[in-house]
Amino acid sequence: MSDYLALQVAAGVLVNAAGEVLVALRATHRHQGGLWEFPGGKIEPGESIQAALARELWEELGIRVLQAHPLLRIPYRYPDRAVLLEVWRVTRYAGEPFGREGQIWRWIAPEALPTLSFPGANLPIVTAARLPSLYLITAPAPQEDFFSRLKQALDAGVRLIQLRLPGLTEDQYATLAEPAMVLCQRAGARLLLNCAPALANRLGADGIHLSASHLRTLSSRPLSRQHWVAASCHNVEELVAARRLGADFVVLSPVLPTASHPEACSLGWETFESLIADAGIPVYALGGITPRHLPLAHAYGAQGIAVLGAIWNAPDITEAIRGFVF
């Protein structure tokens, strides 16, 4: 890790009122020149990440950081050097950005980020910038009011959902998945199917969510980069496997004790933080999590929270997710 620390870099994901993300063009004479990047710069010896990010954003863009939280850490090796990106999401700032160093910069919609060329180390940030803070997981058994609950969640602003229905045949799963996909597409939400990759591909799904056991059987990414691939993880070995596989993001659990799996040993927030330190991809916290845990999850470096019962089984889904910032 010492070579990473020699090139430790703070980077910020800034979002404006329209939901657009700020990116800047690297000068051609610099390393990875001519590519787009997220604003930031090298952390000086003895300088904290927060201080470095605040300094860099002032020097580059003329803005004052008022509120920010960790988003992800990315250890990355180029052929000629190694870097460790400390990426933070800036949620409040003062001033209007402008290129103080004469650099080219622009606001861009998150979904358009993949159309730009970024350095390899920045690619997980592109993914994180496109993901919301809430990943909703459906109940493991279909209820009579399944589609009513799904519509309530979508109407309340949920934009990333996993359809988890273990124990069904492929035909039974497809019968529920197809109308659920239509509802999500109409709302502009992504629905990831927890099923075989071949079925997800046949149904034209946005992507898949791999169980930990399924993850361990794979040696390559099961779907193209046009689809989302997520995975469930419980330890560092599975986190490494997910990154090697090319997963876009993972869910790490159980963070806290859960009623559904009381025998499982919960990680706790400190262990969660240490496990994801070098994950290099966005991580959602799952297990005993409720909407009120979102600020805490952000403080420990999570992309956000993955929630099942606290939202899906709530008497009022809209009320359960009120107050979220997506």
Write out pLDDT tens, residues 255-266: 998 877 666 789
Domain with CATH 3.90.79.10 in the chain: 2-130
| pLDDT confidence of residue 4 | 44
Fold of 134-321: TIM Barrel (3.20.20)
| pLDDT confidence of residue 323 | 57
Determine the residue type at 170: E
Out of 3.40.50.2300, 1.20.810.10, 3.40.50.880, 3.90.79.10, the CATH code matching 2-130 is: 3.90.79.10
Mean pLDDT across 266-295: 95
Can you say whether residue 95 is alpha, beta or left, with left for phi > 0 and alpha for psi between -120 and 50 degrees? left
Question: Contact 163/194 with Cβ under 8 angstroms?
Answer: yes
Q: Band the pLDDT of 322: cuts 50, 70, 90.
A: confident
Mean pLDDT across 62-77: 95
* pLDDT, the chain, mean: 93
Query: Considering Cα of 61, then 64, then 67, then 68, what sign does the dihedral take?
Result: positive
User: Nearest CA to 194 among 185, 213, 179, 186?
Assistant: 213
Q: Is 90 exceeded by the pLDDT of residue 111? A: yes
The answer for residues whose C-beta is within 8 angstroms of residue 315's C-beta and 6 or more apart is: none
Q: Residue 85 belongs to what H/E stretch?
A: strand 82-94
DSSP three-state, residue 112: helix
- Cα angle at 76 between 206 and 269, to 5 degrees? 70
Two tokens, residue 20: 């657009």
Q: Is 80 exceeded by the pLDDT of residue 1? A: no
Give percent of the chain with pLDDT exceeding 90.
85
Instruction: Report pTM.
Output: 0.94
Give percent of the chain with pLDDT exceeding 70.
96
Domain with CATH 3.20.20.70 in the chain: 134-321
| pLDDT confidence of residue 279 | 94
